[in-house]
Amino acid sequence: MIVPSLLAVLSPIVVGVVLGAEALGGMLAGSIATGFLLALFLANAGGAWDNAKKYIERGNLGGKGSDVHKASVVGDTVGDPCKDSCSPALNILIKLMTIIALVFAPLFL
């Protein structure tokens, strides 16, 4: 987790120093656009996996104990972290990159 953290912290500084403030603005705009869309996708897909398991446990598509239910448990195992931790973490990542860019803004001008 150290390398991804350093990537998020150092990339605005490196882009700002090497390419300038305009490029940093473009990088931040791109990170906001892609981060927002990825967060929406993760929250939606995680909720869909969770709801699919609940639907099957109510007796649909074979109910509990079936192969479909076993597959839905695996999907729910993947979906819960998506909607509960990955999606909200992207919001923090976007804020972190933006705050670092603002703090180091005098270096880029």
Instruction: Encode pLDDT of 75-89 as tens digits.
Output: 889 888 888 888 889
- Mapped onto helix, strand or coil, the DSSP state of residue 102 is helix
First to last CA, the chain: 31
Question: Is it the case that residue 65 has pLDDT exceeding 90?
Answer: no
Question: Is it the case that residue 10 has pLDDT exceeding 90?
Answer: yes
CB–CB of 47/87 below 8 Å?
no
CB–CB of 52/71 below 8 Å?
no
- pTM value is 0.78
Structure tokens at 44: 């939606």
DSSP string computed for 65-89: TSHHHHHHHHHHHHHHHIIIIIHHH
pLDDT of residue 2: 92
% of the chain at pLDDT higher than 70: 100
